[in-house]
Amino acid sequence: MSEKSQLPSRLFLCLITISIALLITSSLFLLQFSDNSFRPTSVLKLILVNNTSDYFQPSVGSEKVEAPFTPSVASPIYSNPPVRIKEVPCPSSEPSNKLSAVGLEKEKICDTNHAVLQVYMYDLPLEFHFGLLGWKGNSDQTWPDVGNPSRIPSYPGGLNLQHSMEYWLTLDLLSSNVPNMVRPCSAIRVHNASQADIIFVPFFSSLSYNRHSKLHGKERVSVNRMLQNKLVEFLKGRNEWKRLGGKDHLIVAHHPNSMLVARKKLASAMFVLADFGRYLVAIANLQKDVIAPYKHLVKTIPSDKSTPFEGRPILVYFQGAIYRKDGGATRHELYYLLKDEKDVHFTFGSVQTNGINQAGQGMGSSKFCLNIAGDTPSSNRLFDAIASHCVPVIISDEIELPFEDVLDYSEFCIFIRASDAVKKGFLLNLLREINQDQWTKMWERLKQIALHFEYQYPSQPGDAVDMIWQAISRKKSSIRFKGHRNNRYRRSQNLVKIT
Ligand SMILES: *[C@@H]1O[C@H](CO)[C@@H](O)[C@H](O)[C@H]1NC(C)=O
Ligand SMILES: *[C@@H]1O[C@H](CO)[C@@H](O)[C@H](O)[C@H]1NC(C)=O
Ligand SMILES: *[C@@H]1O[C@H](CO)[C@@H](O)[C@H](O)[C@H]1NC(C)=O
C-alpha cells in the first residue's frame, strides 16, 4: 500500500473512533434527560411553553381507553405521548426515575403534588348543575358517580352542546378523585378550599339560559334568573369568596347570554367565555378571563381520512344565518361578492335546517371555510372548520381565540380585516394565490392541533378540557399577585376599624 491510500484509511479510522465516542456521550446525555427525548413531540411542541415543561402520565399506549362520551373521537391523542406543562419543577418526593423511565412512569399518580391546578369545587345543590339535566341522584347524592360512565347523565344535544364546557369541566374535576382514572393531571379537586388555587363554581349557566329562561305558568321569575340570584347570594356569603373578593373563583359562562343577571355582581371572578362581544371591559377582559372553544357540531375527521388539497373541489365554504345586527353587514356584502363564483359555496340558513352532517361534508370538501362575524364575534363555525381540516378564513375583527398564548393561529388560519374582505376581488385573489404547498402546510398543522378543540370524557392530554385548565393555571400568578396587593394595608385597615 502506498502512502496515499493509507492516509485516508487512517483518517477514516479516526473518524469512526470520534463518532463512536460521540454516540456514547450522546446516549448518556439522552438517558440523563430521561424518557422524553425518545418520544415524538411534533404535536406537542406547541403547548410546551417552557423548558421546565415535562411529560407526565401513565402511558396509555396498548391499553386503549374508550372515551364513552365522544361520538366523534378521532382521537389521535391516544397514540401520542401525553404532555404536561409544569409550573413547578418536579417535587422532590418524586422518585428519581431517570433510567427506567417506562416502567416507573406507570406508577406515577396524579395527586395534589403533581397536578398543575388544585381546584376546590362548591357542592352546590343539584338544581345548579346535574339537576338541570334531569338527574336526581339519591337523596344524599350531590354528584353522579363518574367512575361508571354509563351512569353519567348526558348533556342535551343539538345546539346546546356548543356551550357544554361547563359540563365537561365539572365531570373532569369529579373524575380527578376517581382512583385509576386515566386522564391528564392538569386539575385535581381538593376538598379544602384553603389549599386550592382556584374555586370552581359548578353552575351550568349556558344550559340554564338555553333551557330555563322562559316563564312558565304563574312564575314571576324564570328559573335561570332565580338560580343566578341564588348563586350571587350564596357566593357573597362565603368566606372563600370574601378571601380575595372572588378573584380566585372560576365561573363558566360560555353562552353569550348566560349569567346576564349575575355577571356584574360577580365580575371579579374569572370567567370562561366564548368572546367578549356582550361584555363591558370592566366585567370581562383577557387579563383575567379565559376563552374556551365551542364544542364543534360536525364530526371530527380522523387525521388519516382527511382529504388533501386536490380532493377538495370547493374553494370557499360558508353557511350561516343572516344577521341584521352589528357584524352582520359583512355577511351580506360578501354574499353579493361571492355568490356567482363557481367554486364558492355560500348559503344562508342555520346549520340545523340544512343538517349538521351536510355542513360537515361541505367543509370536508372545501379548502377554505369562512368565519364571518355574526351577532357575536365568535361562533362554533370556526371549530367545525378545524374539525374538518378546512383552513379557516377569519373575518371578525373582534374575535378572541382560545389558547392564543400557546397557539399561533396564523399557522393554520387566514385572517382578513372586515374592511378588506368587502373590497371587490380582495378575498378571492388572496385565497387563489395560496398554492398547494402553502395550503398543505396549514392543513398539516390543522390536523395536529385539532385535538385541542375536542371535548370528551374522560379528558385526555392536550384536549380542550386539559387546555382550558392549563390556560387557567397560567392566570394563577396574576391572581396571587392581586391577592398580595390586597394584603398591603391589611394591618392598618384592621387598626382603622379598632380606633
Ligand atoms: C431554559 O432553562 C435554562 C436554565 O435552566 C435557561 O438558561 C434558558 O434561558 C431557558 N430557555 C428557555 C427557552 O426558557
Ligand atoms: C418557565 O420557567 C421559569 C423558570 O425557568 C418558571 O419560573 C416559570 O414558572 C415557567 N413557566 C411555566 C409556564 O412553566
Ligand atoms: C385546610 O387547610 C388549612 C391549611 O393547609 C388547614 O389549616 C386547615 O386545618 C384545613 N382544614 C381542614 C378542614 O382540613
Q: Which of 58-62, 336-340, 404-408, 444-448 shows the lowest per-residue confidence on average (mean pLDDT)?
A: 58-62
Query: Whose CA is closest to atom 12 on ligand 1?
Result: 51
Alpha carbons 321 and 351: distance in angstroms, whole number: 8
The per-residue pLDDT for 79 is 34
pLDDT exceeds 90 at position 315? yes
Tell me, in angstroms, the distance from the centre of ligand 2 to residue 85's CA: 10
Are 320 and 374 in contact by the 8 Å Cβ rule? The answer is yes
- Helix-helix angle 464-473:165-175, to 10 degrees: 80
Please provide residue 437's backbone torsions phi and psi, each rounded to the nearest 5 degrees: -65, -45
Tell me, in angstroms, the distance from the centre of ligand 2 to residue 86's CA: 8
Across the range 422-433, mean pLDDT stands at 95
Ligand nearest to the CA of 476: 2
- Please report which helix (H) or strand (E) contains residue 11, including its range: helix 3-32
Across the range 101-106, mean pLDDT stands at 37
pTM for the model stands at 0.74
The per-residue pLDDT for 60 is 33
Amino acid at 193: A
Query: Whose CA is closest to atom 14 on ligand 2?
Result: 87
pLDDT exceeds 70 at position 365? yes
pLDDT exceeds 90 at position 87? no
pLDDT exceeds 90 at position 420? yes
The mean pLDDT value of the chain amounts to 82
Residues with CB under 6 A from ligand 1: 50-51
Highest mean pLDDT among 146-150, 171-175, 371-375: 171-175
pLDDT exceeds 70 at position 422? yes
Q: Is the CB of 138 under 6 A from ligand 3?
A: no
Query: Whose CA is closest to atom 8 on ligand 1?
Result: 51
Locate the ligand 2 atom nearest the alpha carbon of residue 53 and give its number: 14
Query: Whose CA is closest to atom 7 on ligand 2?
Result: 87
CATH 3.40.50.2000 segments of the chain: 303-453
The per-residue pLDDT for 363 is 95
Ligand nearest to the CA of 51: 1
The per-residue pLDDT for 40 is 40
Query: Under DSSP, is residue 391 helix (H, G, I), strand (E, B) or coil?
Result: strand
Query: Whose CA is closest to atom 11 on ligand 2?
Result: 87
pLDDT greater at residue 450 or residue 490: 450
pLDDT greater at residue 218 or residue 456: 456
The band of 350, judged by pLDDT with boundaries at 50, 70 and 90, is: low
Q: Is the CB of 50 under 6 A from ligand 2?
A: yes
The residue among 338, 398, 409 whose CA lies nearest residue 374 is 398
The per-residue pLDDT for 74 is 37
Q: pLDDT digits over 29-47, tens only?
A: 555 544 443 444 333 333 3
Fold of the 303-453 domain: Rossmann fold (3.40.50)
pLDDT greater at residue 88 or residue 464: 464
Q: Which of 83-87, 216-220, 336-340, 418-422 shows the lowest per-residue confidence on average (mean pLDDT)?
A: 83-87
Q: Is the peptide bond before 458 cis (omega within 30 degrees of 0)?
A: yes
Q: Is the CB of 239 under 6 A from ligand 3?
A: no
The band of 6, judged by pLDDT with boundaries at 50, 70 and 90, is: low
The per-residue pLDDT for 491 is 83
Tell me, in angstroms, the distance from the centre of ligand 2 to residue 477's CA: 11
Query: Whose CA is closest to atom 6 on ligand 1?
Result: 51
pLDDT exceeds 80 at position 325? no
Query: Whose CA is closest to atom 9 on ligand 2?
Result: 87
Alpha carbons 430 and 424: distance in angstroms, whole number: 11
The per-residue pLDDT for 269 is 97
The per-residue pLDDT for 386 is 97
Across the range 304-330, mean pLDDT stands at 84
Q: Mutate which of 51, 52, 87, 90 to test ligand 1's pocket (most atoms within 8 Å of Cβ)?
A: 51
Alpha carbons 37 and 21: distance in angstroms, whole number: 20
Ligand nearest to the CA of 120: 3
Q: Is the CB of 154 under 6 A from ligand 2?
A: no
Percent of the chain whose pLDDT exceeds 70: 78
Q: Is the CB of 192 under 6 A from ligand 3?
A: yes
The per-residue pLDDT for 21 is 76
The band of 354, judged by pLDDT with boundaries at 50, 70 and 90, is: low
Q: Is the CB of 88 under 6 A from ligand 2?
A: no
The per-residue pLDDT for 52 is 36
Tell me, in angstroms, the distance from the centre of ligand 1 to residue 51's CA: 6
Alpha carbons 447 and 38: distance in angstroms, whole number: 22
The band of 417, judged by pLDDT with boundaries at 50, 70 and 90, is: very high
The band of 352, judged by pLDDT with boundaries at 50, 70 and 90, is: low
Tell me, in angstroms, the distance from the centre of ligand 2 to residue 405's CA: 14
- Please report which helix (H) or strand (E) contains residue 250, including its range: strand 249-252
The band of 313, judged by pLDDT with boundaries at 50, 70 and 90, is: very high
The per-residue pLDDT for 33 is 46
pLDDT exceeds 60 at position 259? yes
